[in-house]
Structure 1
Amino acid sequence: MSRTERKARPLTAESLSELALAYVSRFATSRAKLTRYLTRKLAERGWEGEGPPDVERLVTSMVGYGYVNDAAFAEIKARSLTRRGYGKRRVDAAIYQAGIAEPDRIAADELVDANRIMAALRLAERRRWGPYASEIEQDPAKRQKMLAAFLRAGHDHRLSRRVLDMAPGADVSLLDEG
């Protein structure tokens, strides 16, 4: 039997615990993501332990040890995505996909709201649009595509327009909450 044909050994309570510990030591994760990972591994490899596997108890123990913290994960994810230029809707979608419950999202939501202008400007800077462009884009079709990119990145329509309408080299500090 070749190496690729060899089937992995079924999981036991100890090996499932080791998998969980290895996963949380390598990746920042949420309860839901860890649960999905362990469930997937059980489906792939099977179960050899006594009784059914208690994935929820294992995940709860990882939370109890402080290895998994949904609120911290949500805040880290929000900080990372806003720094890359993504807006509120896109950040909310990523946090929702990670399975973060509403009470654990509060700090992340506040961070996104506080940095919404900075995130839009970061996207404009990366794409060299608006105040970071070398010249004003006159082609309506290209401007529409630029606006669509802002909207896909999760920014609201009004802020996106305001950033795109800024003249090249304009003082970005003048872009306020208004």
Structure 2
Amino acid sequence: MRPRKSPPPPLDAAKLERLALRYVERYATTRGRLTDYLSRKLRERGWDSDGAPAVEPLVERFAELGYVDDRAWGEARAAAMARRGLGTRRVRQALGAAGVRGEDAEAIEAESADAALASAVAFARRKRIGAFAAVPPADRAAVERQVAQLVRAGHDLALARRIVRTTADDLAPMSRSDELLDDETRLIRSLS
């Protein structure tokens, strides 16, 4: 039987700052996530100094120093989600869960809304929905399942229905210049 480890010592101001610095050097994060992390560590280890721990001022100082940037983290996260084909609603949920709010969230959501069509088409290609399906859905239930997949991915219902209704014939090149485009780009053009 292994001997039990002794519990880690309680935190003081210097240890709390070192813990925060180590966290931000390892992970790109937001103010909200850093606050949650430090609060969790304080619950686990306790507080050794007099007075209440200064978590919020520490997080704000790290943001002023540029160690924590909600906007940059949110833009990177939204771009990654768009590449995976996730819609604006899912992006908004991820930003809210990470604590990105206010002007930063609004700007990121606006950028995400601009890329909504391309993101939905990327999702349809990956999941073989609509024009990308090997065999078009035969019955209403199959169509509704495909629409539901797009809606669960965070896309608008009207856009999901438009994508599911497209067929491979809609992707046929209309001119010689269209022959150089891939299916995804032709679908985006036809839906725009």
Q: Would you call these one fold, judging by a TM-score over 0.5?
A: yes
- Following superposition, the deviation at residue 4 of structure 1 comes to 5.3
- Following superposition, the deviation at residue 143 of structure 1 comes to 1.8
Q: Is the 8 A contact 1:31 1:70 kept in 2?
A: yes
- Following superposition, the deviation at residue 106 of structure 1 comes to 3.1
Q: Is the 8 A contact 2:86 2:155 kept in 1?
A: yes
State the distance in 2 between where 1:62 and 1:24 align. 9
State the distance in 1 between where 2:4 and 2:40 align. 19
Question: What is the alpha-carbon root mean square deviation over aligned residues?
Answer: 1.7
Q: 1:4 to 1:153 in 2, by over 3 A?
A: farther
1:42 alignment counterpart: 42
- Following superposition, the deviation at residue 62 of structure 1 comes to 0.6
Q: Percent identity?
A: 38
1:61 alignment counterpart: 61
Superposed, 1:16-165 pairs within 5 Å as 16-165=16-165
- Following superposition, the deviation at residue 175 of structure 1 comes to 3.1
- Following superposition, the deviation at residue 126 of structure 1 comes to 1.1
Is residue 175 from structure 1 mapped to residue 190 from structure 2 by the alignment?
A: yes
Counterpart AA for 1:83: R
- Following superposition, the deviation at residue 5 of structure 1 comes to 4.2
| Residues matched between the structures, number | 177
State the distance in 2 between where 1:3 and 1:100 align. 43
State the distance in 2 between where 1:66 and 1:4 align. 40
Counterpart AA for 1:35: T
TM-score w.r.t. the length of structure 1 is 0.92
Q: 1:3 to 1:105 in 2, by over 3 A?
A: farther
Q: 1:56 to 1:162 in 2, by over 3 A?
A: same
SS of residue matched to 1:62: helix
- Following superposition, the deviation at residue 107 of structure 1 comes to 2.7
- Following superposition, the deviation at residue 77 of structure 1 comes to 1.5
Q: 1:4 to 1:155 in 2, by over 3 A?
A: farther
Q: Is the 8 A contact 1:84 1:123 kept in 2?
A: yes
In the alignment, structure 1 segments of 5+ residues that lack a partner are: none
Q: 1:143 to 1:46 in 2, by over 3 A?
A: same
- Following superposition, the deviation at residue 3 of structure 1 comes to 6.0
